[in-house]
Structure 1
Amino acid sequence: MSADDTAGRRALPRGTVPAAVGAFLLTLAAMLPLYVYDRVAVLPAQGRFEMTMVADGAGYLDTSRWAWVDGVRIVRNTSVSAQAHGPDWSAWEMSVDTVAEGAMIDHWSRRAIVDRDTGRAVNCCGEHVNGDRAVRQAGLVFSWPPGVGEADHPFYDAEVRAAPVMEFQGTDEVAGLTVRRYTQEIPATQVPESAREVPAWLFTPGAEGTVTAGRWLELTRTYWVEPVSGTVVNAHEARLETLRPQNASGEAHLLYAELGLRENQIAGRAEQARVRSLLLRSLDSWAPWALGPAGGLLLVAGGAIALRDRSRDAGRDGRGGAEGAGAPADSDVTDGKRVPSA
């Protein structure tokens, strides 16, 4: 093997590897919160989930025989199917079924285009509520944006087709998580396109025939949100629905229910929030704070090792030069006597 080959395969200077690893860790510490976090802390582009709320001791108007039924269990199930809609949005197909004693008492559907970064509705691409494509949805659709501060947020209610504010009420603990409580108050509001013919005697005893009445909704909605991930961990709704005649006074109760999220769903959503919160905290603070100092130490150590080896090599070169200087280049030494060179 030639000398050139040996030189070409000479090992890297000591300190190169720790310095390179240190530089990589410092770069990673900067990229995690500034680049990776922003791409992870968004709503999923696609997926399916359900939210099932139950009310015991509720009551509703059985419109098949126009009789009030009390003390029943009412189940309200919200089903969501999300598909990616471009790089930044997601299209949510939502349906809501309300069931009492196995009988369907209400159903409606909705399509919302959701900004994955803010969690808010975007006016685009076939959005509708129950087939009404003239609606312009606004505010949060369901989830909160990750890492958002303690602020109020407009939250779209598809039934009244408006986005009253969800007000921040304080902090609570749910399933071992510290969460924020938000409440939305909707005063009695007529539901658009809900007019129907109903028996007149509902409002005036003994009256005959039918009258046109609309459905009115009064609602208090409370969500408990894990703030780091923006996950809704628990939910509660106090609903009062009534029928009111269009051209007369009076009202008839249509539904009353205190709806709450099922216990198994609370536990499942809390675990989901816990895992996602851990991931986001790691990307935003824990990992950078660990990787940054470690990378800095390795970079300094690698530089120190390289400087020490360079100083040592320089000292060796100096000693070699001093030893060679004892014999002049133009003379030879034989038997202890200096003989001039030819």
Structure 2
Amino acid sequence: MANRSTPTRVIPPILIGLGAFFLIIAILIPLYTVGRLEKTPLDLEITSVSTGTGSVLDSRSLTAGSAVVDQNVPLISQRFVTTEEPSNSDVITVQAGSSLRRTDRQGDTGLLTATVDRVSLDRVSSMPVDPVGSIQSQADKPAEEVPHTGLQYKFPFDSQKQTYPFFDTVARESYDMTFVEETQIEGVTVYHYTQTIPAVDLSAVVPSPANKLALPASTWGVDGGATPITMTRYYENTRDIYVEPVTGVIIKGQEDVHQYYARRAGTPEVDVVKAVIGFDDNTVTYQLGRAQDGKDQIALIGRTVPIVAGVLGVILLAVGIVLLLRGGRTTRGTRTVADGPTTGPRTSGAGSPAPDHDWTTDRTEEIPRTNLRKD
């Protein structure tokens, strides 16, 4: 009759196979799956809000004949970032509409600056790729092609304590963003970077009439009466950002911005905008949530799942091998008795040994019988 597989023979190979499978999973997940998670999502739709107070030039006062700079003006800067085409598994194209306005005035009278920036970025490094990109800063003119050469809206995954190029949409150029320190925001570890932008001649960046003006000296508030004085608009900025390093999400940002009219760079004569503007609390909280979600996914797939799979694989493999070895020893220690005659003493039906019988002496002689007759 054919042998049947018993559980003790079937289970060990199954356990060994499962153990090997989980060990392979533990190795492959960090190699292949984490890389897919460390990419900028293709469904971006992010609004960030920054607020502050500062000095603002009342542009209407220039036409009235005397420059007036309002003090302690409440300001709000808003930026809305969305995903556009072309975007694919490696590249994401983002469009960011940004505005700066004074909230003490309504409608267009409160709008100070507005730009639409468009750029294609590598989804891992967050650095620009082709096409070049564009910026529209004048509502009555189309967007201009502008080379983008640095980071902007997020840092790379696994950000380092080093200097990165960071692109400024006002200056239309990249400047060093230097690592300062490792610190924390609401218990989350972040890297603090800072960037200093020296005086930039905005008339050389955007040929707008507002970036170089010739007005009477009296209008500018300097000596010279009616003598025309040409003033150039300059831009300076000190930018501080705080980055969650695992995801590259910018948790907090602040700018100490200064735009002014002057006859020489670095010598302000009439402020256009001078203010410190930073992310409001809601934006910081939202960015913290984005970073934490990204960290949790990367940690789950990159560490937790491989560790659990690896431990489970080792346990299953060990149990399977132990059961396999025990099963082998049990098989070798068991005797199999075959059916057939034995060489031991025979037994009677009652189970007691049957007596030996000597067939050589146990004979019955037949004595022939003869018939006796009388004669």
Rg larger in structure: 2
Following TM superposition, by how much is the alpha carbon of 1:52 offset from its aligned partner in structure 2, in angstroms?
A: 0.8
Residue equivalent to 1:86: 88
- The DSSP-based 3-state class of the residue aligned with 2:174 is coil
- The DSSP-based 3-state class of the residue aligned with 1:15 is helix
Residue equivalent to 1:225: 243
Residue equivalent to 1:146: 157
- The DSSP-based 3-state class of the residue aligned with 2:247 is coil
- Say which of 197, 200, 204 aligns to 1:189: 200
Separation in 1, partners of 2:82, 2:319: 53
Does the C-alpha gap of structure 1 residues 93 and 308 become closer, same or farther in structure 2, counting only changes over 3 Å?
Answer: same
CA contact (8 A) 1:188 1:216 kept: yes
Residue equivalent to 1:46: 43
Q: How many residues align?
A: 326
Separation in 1, partners of 2:227, 2:206: 22
Residue equivalent to 1:14: 11
Residue equivalent to 1:175: 186
Following TM superposition, by how much is the alpha carbon of 1:207 offset from its aligned partner in structure 2, in angstroms?
A: 4.4
Which residue identity is paired with 2:209? R
CA contact (8 A) 2:8 2:323 kept: no
Q: Does 1:327 align with 2:324?
A: no
Separation in 2, partners of 1:205, 1:50: 45
Following TM superposition, by how much is the alpha carbon of 1:160 offset from its aligned partner in structure 2, in angstroms?
A: 0.7
Which residue identity is paired with 1:60? V
CA contact (8 A) 1:13 1:306 kept: no
- The DSSP-based 3-state class of the residue aligned with 1:138 is coil
Which residue identity is paired with 2:92? S
CA-atom RMSD, angstroms? 3.1
Separation in 1, partners of 2:200, 2:301: 44
Deviation per CA, 1:135-189: give whole Å up to 9, x if none.
Answer: 2101112211121221111111111111111100011111111111000110111
CA contact (8 A) 1:48 1:81 kept: yes
CA contact (8 A) 2:261 2:270 kept: yes
Following TM superposition, by how much is the alpha carbon of 1:19 offset from its aligned partner in structure 2, in angstroms?
A: 2.5
Following TM superposition, by how much is the alpha carbon of 1:273 offset from its aligned partner in structure 2, in angstroms?
A: 1.6
Which residue identity is paired with 1:232? I
Following TM superposition, by how much is the alpha carbon of 1:127 offset from its aligned partner in structure 2, in angstroms?
A: 1.3
Deviation per CA, 1:103-132: give whole Å up to 9, x if none.
Answer: 1111111111011010111131x6112255
CA contact (8 A) 2:134 2:144 kept: yes
Residue equivalent to 2:121: 114
Following TM superposition, by how much is the alpha carbon of 1:288 offset from its aligned partner in structure 2, in angstroms?
A: 2.3
Percent identical pairs in the alignment equals 21
Separation in 2, partners of 1:203, 1:12: 99
CA contact (8 A) 1:196 1:213 kept: no
Which residue identity is paired with 2:69? W
CA contact (8 A) 1:119 1:144 kept: yes
Residue equivalent to 1:128: 134
5 Å-filtered alignment, 1:262-273, equals 262-273=280-291
Residue equivalent to 2:61: 65
CA contact (8 A) 2:183 2:189 kept: yes
CA contact (8 A) 2:51 2:279 kept: yes
Separation in 1, partners of 2:146, 2:90: 22
- The DSSP-based 3-state class of the residue aligned with 1:155 is strand
Separation in 2, partners of 1:290, 1:225: 30
Deviation per CA, 1:22-48: give whole Å up to 9, x if none.
Answer: 223212211221111100011112321
Following TM superposition, by how much is the alpha carbon of 1:134 offset from its aligned partner in structure 2, in angstroms?
A: 3.8
Residue equivalent to 1:302: 320
TM-score between both structures, scaled by the size of structure 2: 0.77
Residue equivalent to 1:258: 276
Q: Which moved more, 1:38-47 or 1:12-21?
A: 12-21
Which residue identity is paired with 1:163? S
Following TM superposition, by how much is the alpha carbon of 1:244 offset from its aligned partner in structure 2, in angstroms?
A: 3.4
TM-score between both structures, scaled by the size of structure 1: 0.84
